[in-house]
Amino acid sequence: MEFCPKCGTVMFPKGDCFQCSCGYQKKITEETLSKYEVSEKVAPKENVIVTGDNVKTLPTTKAICPKCQNRLAFWWLQQTRRADESETRFLRCTECGHTWREYD
């Protein structure tokens, strides 16, 4: 990762430069490429960005949906409180898409 010397945020490659949201740019050189061991360049049109709630690749578990009583739900864990507390388990109904949470 390349960090901006002006504001400290992560810079992302754009064209032949690393570009920061504050406007700072740094030219990508052969030394930079060897430093990060870039093995191949990928065209932006080949990048896949998945957004939205319709992704059906999460693991499933048996759980009763409080909205429609369906018995299958997608689940994932997310740290929503302090690091010394347990993660929150989120569940999303496979039928109606209702999302709820469970705490340990």
- pLDDT tens profile 18-67: 888 888 988 888 777 667 655 556 566 655 555 555 667 789 999 999 99
Quote the pLDDT of residue 74: 92
Q: Is residue 13 part of a domain?
A: yes
Answer yes or no: is 17 a known binding residue. Answer: no
Partnered with residue 93 across adjacent β-strands are: 73
Q: What is the CATH number of the domain that holds 79?
A: 2.20.25.10
Q: Is residue 15 part of a domain?
A: yes
Mean pLDDT over all residues of the chain?
80
Q: Is residue 55 part of a domain?
A: no
- Whether residues 76 and 99 share a domain: the answer is yes
- Whether residues 41 and 67 share a domain: the answer is no
Count structural domains, the chain. Answer: 2
Average pLDDT over residues 78-94: 85
- Whether residues 65 and 42 share a domain: the answer is no
Looking at the predicted structure, is the pLDDT value of residue 14 above 80?
Answer: yes
Q: Is residue 53 part of a domain?
A: no
Quote the pLDDT of residue 61: 93
Residue 12 CA to residue 20 CA, distance in Å, equals 7
Q: Is residue 91 part of a domain?
A: yes
Q: Is residue 54 part of a domain?
A: no
Quote the pLDDT of residue 54: 61
Q: What is the pTM for the complete model shown?
A: 0.47
- Whether residues 69 and 34 share a domain: the answer is no
Residue 20 lies in domain: 2-46
- Whether residues 68 and 35 share a domain: the answer is no
The residues annotated as belonging to the active site are 84-85
Residue 91 CA to residue 72 CA, distance in Å, equals 9
Judge whether 17 and 27 are in contact, CB under 8 Å. Answer: yes
